[in-house]
Structure 1
């Protein structure tokens, strides 16, 4: 109890000392780290464009499926096994992974467009706003303040994965399906904060691998986007649970794979 009380007291003191000037206070982030973050977010934006292109290719040619899922995982494995000095090759592999990922969630996007095209735009804007807000919160917070959440979030991800695995084999109720969606959304929003601080901390320690860091944030963004989109689509078409469950399986596999090999 003393640990909890001291934690909340420190948070309260921190909140009382908050001022508008703190929004412009990036003194804890060195110029080198700031440059690194610019590279990370620029790479992330390019990956999102490539992912959108992959989704568009699926809508035109119906290429999304198990092959693009394995292509995405294979591209990530190839990227992580490539030495950091082969920068162009690693960037190309990141774009390829994003392209395959976009094609893999193409069926879900295609379904959303059939129901209402505005659903896709709303889900993307919601994901972008959440990503921007929580990333900024992580940058403005004290160093390592949120890193302790990593273990808790990893446990939550494991619970979600095994719960989904069990429900796929033994069958699951609508309540479990909704729990996976909303709790999974909460877990990956938390990962946005933890991963942003982890990237900053690693950069302070000399790890300036912006391609790998952009891949980590891309996985977080994709997981949040898919869940918001599934929530919006399931509200309109509750009977599409099988397809939506398949998209959940894909994002769980991608997230677990990425976290096991980038940490």
Structure 2
């Protein structure tokens, strides 16, 4: 946990260092890598549009569930096993995976719309803001500065999986679920930074697979969005119950 604390402390202290030196670090990114980043983020935006379309399809036909989850996993595995030179096929698979992922998240989005549509807008805006800020932090920081966090984040994901496994066997509690929620949010926010820096380093080494990199960032974005949305829904529900008690 000390590493996580130092990471977030470094974010606040680095505000004073984001001057000419930060911009100079950004200029160290070659034109080829900058073009790659443009392709990655453009593809990511298209994937998010696909996810929104999938969520809309769920609202119309109620298709989100186990089948769309399996379809997302299937399309992702198919994409990763497809050679990079089959670019159109890989982009199509990414859009399909994003659409199925949106349909999978559809029931949660439906719940948010029924409770208060502004919660959905706030959750998406908060996720986009966090994604933008932490991606910028990764780009403006020194190269490889946050890559050391990758091992800690992987350990955090393992802890989440074991907690989920234990909850399924022995039964979970509200406090355990809340811990998983906030701890998972912190983990995937960290992955936003690490994956962005790793993507830049891979691009510097010649790995310009923008479809795969967009898939990685899309996964991080959805993971953070879902957790922020659940937290906001829980808080809204608590406030609603408090109002009923007062009345």
Mapping for residues 2-151 of structure 1, pairs under 5 Å: 18=17, 20-25=19-24, 26-151=26-151
Structure 2 Cα separation of the partners of residues 89 and 100 of structure 1: 16
* Residue in 2 that maps onto 1:211: 211
Query: Superposition RMSD on alpha carbons, in Å?
Result: 1.9
Matched, 1:201 2:183: no
TM-score normalised by L of structure 1: 0.83
TM-score (ref. length: structure 2): 0.89
Deviation at 1:222, TM superposition (A): 0.2
Following superposition, which runs of at least 4 residues in structure 1 exceed 3 angstroms of deviation?
Answer: 14-17
Cα gap change, 1:81/1:19 in structure 2, threshold over 3 Å: closer, same or farther?
closer
- After superposition, what is the alpha-carbon deviation per residue over 1:44-98, rounded to whole angstroms, capped at 9, x for unaligned? 0000000000000000110000000000000000000000000000000000000
Q: Distance in 1 between matches of 2:160 and 2:15?
A: 36
How far 1:21 moved relative to its partner?
Answer: 2.1
Instruction: Tell me the matched-pair count.
Output: 229
Q: Is 1:222 the equivalent of 2:219?
A: no
Could you tell me how far apart the structure 1 residues matched to 2:52 and 2:124 are?
11
Between the aligned partners of 1:131 and 1:81, the Cα distance in structure 2 is 28
2:167 is the counterpart of 1:167:
yes
Q: Distance in 2 between matches of 1:235 and 1:16?
A: 30
SS of residue paired to 1:105: helix
| Structure 1 gap ranges (5+) | 239-263
Query: Matched residues in 1 for 2:79 and 2:71: separation?
Result: 12
Secondary structure of 1:85's aligned partner? coil
Q: CA deviation at 1:16?
A: 10
